[in-house]
Amino acid sequence: MRLFQKHFCVVAISLSAISPGNAQLLVEPTLHIKSEAGSGRVALTLDACGGKTDTRILSALVENEIPATIFVTGIWLKHNAAAIEIMRAHPELFELENHGGRHIPAVDTPQKIYGIRSAGSPEAVLAEVESGAAALAVTGEPVPKWFRGATAEYSSSAIAMIRKLGFKIAGFSVNGDGGSLLGAKETARRIAAAKDGDVIIAHINQPTHAAGEGVVQGLLELKAKGLTFVRLDDADGVGDEGTTD
């Protein structure tokens, strides 16, 4: 079972983590990018849920010219101006996408997922998605095309609503850092094991966690193997559960 700690941006792994008695079954979509001829491609996605910036990861991405898709919340955008400027100074590396306004799970019935209260209604889901996009617009960033909700768990009806807003929903195929709660060694092992077509999820908002060191190690191992990193907007992503079609 994936680890959770209150206020951390985490990714759920099983429906047993959802409060008992819920009427609606939730889904955790996967996402892959289509393969191309060559040594292989992977997409790195990093969630910036709240808190600060892990400069170990940000510096490594810039120094090693590793592209990444960064999913940012309105909360994170308010407090990380320096990191945003670095990302905007390297448009060839970074694209910023929508992680919601307040980091609330995109589930339209009232329940808790790993202790995080869901949006709870269709109106609240739409508010979370639209406020995240609005927060990005204030920074001058291009209109986001992708959305990833808090915990990466969704109700099927919420997925349909988000798709009607024009967003593709970013699942993943490799959970790199277990919500930033794994140790450096295990995080590096998971990321380094990524293969052609994988979409990696990890976090860039926990600078005091050992997982950040592992993210850097794993990415450098992938680069040494000759894999190419691409952003989601630069690849043809295919997700299940109706998230990209």
Cα distance between residue 24 and residue 222, in whole Å: 39
149-165 pLDDT, tens per residue? 999 999 999 999 999 99
Q: Give the model's pLDDT for residue 9.
A: 54
pLDDT score of 36: 81
Helices marked H in the chain: 55-63, 74-79, 81-88, 122-138, 156-164, 184-192, 211-224
Judged against a pLDDT cut of 50, whether residue 111 lies above it is answered with: yes
More confident residue, 46 or 39: 46
pLDDT tens-digit map of 67-109: 999 999 999 999 999 999 999 999 999 999 999 999 999 999 9
Average pLDDT over residues 123-128: 98
Residue 3 clears pLDDT 70, i.e. is over it: no
Which amino acid makes up residue 201?
A: I
Asked if residue 210 has pLDDT above 70, the reply is: yes
Which pLDDT value is given to residue 6?
36
